[in-house]
Chains A and B, each alone.
Chain A
Amino acid sequence: GAGVSQSPRYKVAKRGQDVALRCDPISGHVSLFWYQQALGQGPEFLTYFQNEAQLDKSGLPSDRFFAERPEGSVSTLKIQRTQQEDSAVYLCASSFRGGTVSGNTIYFGEGSWLTVV
């Protein structure tokens, strides 16, 4: 596609509910990133994939968060038993090359806005 596409754009979940957020990266992009942006804050890194391999998941805040990219394209971020503190915008991003080329431009989607009530 022309850009990084995320769905749903907006999600309201009841506390304790599981949610799944989808990311379609730019076609052909090797690297895929998930970030969490709380209200009034900068994005915080969650996890990184190179093709289907999850190379870094150091930013996932708890074992309730799980991400996958089984075929090296579309990725899903799953949050189990959502809590109010999970309310944030979840940004997906992709870049053409692998992570060792630090100067690569990383393209962001518009985000999935999650509100846990």
Chain B
Amino acid sequence: AQSVTQLGSHVSVSEGALVLLRCNYSSSVPPYLFWYVQYPNQGLQLLLKYTSAATLVKGINGFEAEFKKSETSFHLTKPSAHMSDAAEYFCAVRSGNTPLVFGKGTRLSVIA
């Protein structure tokens, strides 16, 4: 069975500071990993995905994530936070013919 653990339900950073949102996964087969962002009252928007190509994946809005098999991690980073980055972020895993499994989410707050 697959699962995702997002460490920290709420992360707060200052504008311009590094953003680091943590995600660890569990999967018995090579996984595909995704980060989605959800703004208030909106659906989920794909930020980036790992599909067994390069381990460092670049996404939209300046975000990137690195797949580390030895650590079963897929942490999301952004060098400099903007106010517009404040949202809920979800890590998700999928492998084989299984449905996309989401973590519980991390709310990012950006302080001016």
Contact = CB atoms under 8 A, between A and B. Distances in A.
Interface of A: 4, 33, 35, 40-45, 48, 56, 59, 91, 93, 99-100, 102-103, 105-111
B19 to A, nearest CB: 19
Contact of A43 (B41, B42, B97, B102): B102
A43 B44 contact: yes
A45 B43 contact: no
Contacts of B44: 43, 91, 93, 108
Contacts, number: 57
A4 B44 CA distance: 11
A104 to B, nearest CB: 9
Interface bin, chain B: 20 to 34
Interface of B: 4, 32, 34, 36, 41-46, 49, 51-52, 90, 94-105
Given A33-B100, A42-B104, 4 more contacts: A41-B105, A56-B99, A103-B32, A110-B42
15 contacts: A42-B4, A42-B102, A42-B105, A43-B102, A45-B100, A45-B101, A93-B44, A100-B97, A102-B32, A103-B51, A103-B94, A105-B46, A107-B46, A108-B44, A109-B43
